[in-house]
A and B are shown apart, each in its own frame.
Chain A
Amino acid sequence: NAGVTQTPKFRILKIGQSMTLQCTQDMNHNYMYWYRQDPGMGLKLIYYSVGAGITDKGEVPNGYNVSRSTTEDFPLRLELAAPSQTSVYFCASSSPGQEYEQYFGPGTRLTVT
């Protein structure tokens, strides 16, 4: 039982490049989330999904896109990378009705230069 896995662990992008951050969970959780965490700060919600085919914006969605074709996978797409997107990205999942107890992946540390 791996929980929530994320790839890659680290990535350096040039301005204007695109990439997809992968997230997979094996706990059969309906709810999945993407957060970003800037140094010394809390987590900001980017996008979330309550099930396959359903996604919604969080606090800071600009510059990102998501899709949810299966219960297990919730990839996050950066289309035109900007230095402001340098951050640590965490994917999380939870059961319906238990949004207060989220399980987090190990994170992806992204630098845009």
Chain B
Amino acid sequence: GQSLEQPSEVTAVEGAIVQINCTYQTSGFYGLSWYQQHDGGAPTFLSYNGLDGLEETGRFSSFLSRSDSYGYLLLQELQMKDSASYFCAVRDRVSSASKIIFGSGTRLSIRP
């Protein structure tokens, strides 16, 4: 089966940097996505890593290591609006290439 592990909660200070880790177990693997969800809102796509290494999009970066079955989302220059839940998701090869499996999410709280 598939499983994803990410911390349930992380707290950080405005202006600082925070890293949210995700480890996964799948029988097959295509890549790792990250989504952001504000309270009461819908998930929105942030980034995707299909290959090992770092992908950067503005203040957000995402990293993947296939050999370690591990990835992370890095948020820099934290702003209060970054307070949200962050989900990693794997694109799984075994059952179907048409779907992704979501982790349980990490709730990020930003302190002034």
Are the CB atoms of B98 and A31 closer together than 8 Å? yes
Closest to B104 in A: A42
Residues of B within 8 A of A26 (CB): none
Closest to A30 in B: B98
A: interface residue count bin: 20 to 34
Are the CB atoms of A103 and B45 closer together than 8 Å? yes
B63: CB under 8 A from chain A? Answer: no
> Distance (Å) between the CB of A31 and the closest chain B CB?
6
- Chain B residues proximal to chain A, CB less than 8 Å: 30-31, 33, 41-45, 48, 50, 87, 89, 91, 96-105
Closest to A105 in B: B42
Complex Cα gap A45–B2 (Å)? 13
Are the CB atoms of A41 and B104 closer together than 8 Å? yes
> Distance (Å) between the CB of A3 and the closest chain B CB?
10
- Given A33-B99, A48-B98, A100-B33: A106 and B105 interface contact (C-beta under 8 Å): no
- Given A43-B87, A56-B96, A99-B91: A104 and B102 interface contact (C-beta under 8 Å): no
Residues of A within 8 A of B91 (CB): 99-100
Residues of B within 8 A of A104 (CB): 42-44
Residues of A within 8 A of B50 (CB): 100
Are the CB atoms of A99 and B104 closer together than 8 Å? no
Are the CB atoms of A100 and B42 closer together than 8 Å? no
Residues of B within 8 A of A31 (CB): 98
A102: CB under 8 A from chain B? Answer: yes
